[in-house]
Amino acid sequence: MEKEEIQLILDTARSFREILDRPIKRVPTLQGKTVVNLFYEPSTRTRISFELAEKRMSADIINFTPSTSSVKKGESLIDTVKNIEAMKIDMVVVRHSSPGAAHLLARVMDANILNAGDGGHEHPTQALLDMMTIREKFGRLDGLAIGLIGDISHSRVAMSNIFGLKAMGARVILCGPPTLIPREIERLGVEVSHHIDEVIPRADVLNILRLQLERQKSGLFPSLREYHNYFGITRERLEQASKPVLIMHPGPMNRGLEISSQVADSEHSVILEQVTNGIALRMAVLYLLAGGKSEIR
């Protein structure tokens, strides 16, 4: 995405954010539109967040659960979605374990497709809500130094953050063990460090990523304890920096591993604000995809 497009989404999300604080949290913006949530992979936050965003905008919603559908009988992804499309729906939110799944669907379907995470590839709405949260705190993204910490290789959140933050003019510093950072990733215009204590003083924000243990082969680091000792974000580590650093995590967290509980729950943590902003951000994306013409009321 280009800078202007990201800016439009973030600005639109900011105007939707206020609806979430109203006593009656519903606008008629997507009345008459039907959205299908197609989650082939486990999800808590993203699924509930999309669903709430759709409900807040009065869309009709279908939640599709592959484990109780004809997917079990061997139907392909394209056939499943083409059949759903034949029922005259407008948008599909898809999470799938295969990189490129959302793009594949976008090529073969007329309905609007939203990528809610495709394997280890991308998770665009997560990166957008991260950027929304950073912009809310600093008033800008341009010129800020954002540390993405931990398991970069298996993280779709990292990839989408890198593309988005670079487009917005931020500096991106990746930090983790060499086995968890793709070789030659500097070509994307990011810095790489393997020493967290050297990164913390230079960073305005640390976005701490979950160790994706389910996606890793064994032997990428000696033990969880060693990982925590070298890369875990703890209060002691943060106290060495002269200024406070904004703490983010896309969730779900492994407390005591990549992040200590003290840091996760500290006054510099915006982890739960990320979750709230996620709904406003997804409302904005749905609204813009639906045509974005009707007035926000």
Residues that bind ligand NCD (CB under 6 A): 45-46, 117, 123, 126, 156-157, 210, 250-251
Least Å from the CB of residue 210 to ligand NCD: 3
Output the residue with the shortest Cβ distance to ligand NCD: 210
What Rg, from alpha-carbon coordinates, does the chain have? 19
Least Å from the CB of residue 43 to ligand NCD: 6
Output 177 or 250, the one with its CB closest to ligand NCD.
250
Output 27 or 233, the one with its CB closest to ligand NCD.
233
List, by residue number, the catalytic residues: 45-46, 73, 95, 123
Output 27 or 38, the one with its CB closest to ligand NCD.
38
Q: Is the peptide bond before 124 cis (omega within 30 degrees of 0)?
A: no
Least Å from the CB of residue 66 to ligand NCD: 16
Least Å from the CB of residue 296 to ligand NCD: 26
Output 244 or 252, the one with its CB closest to ligand NCD.
252
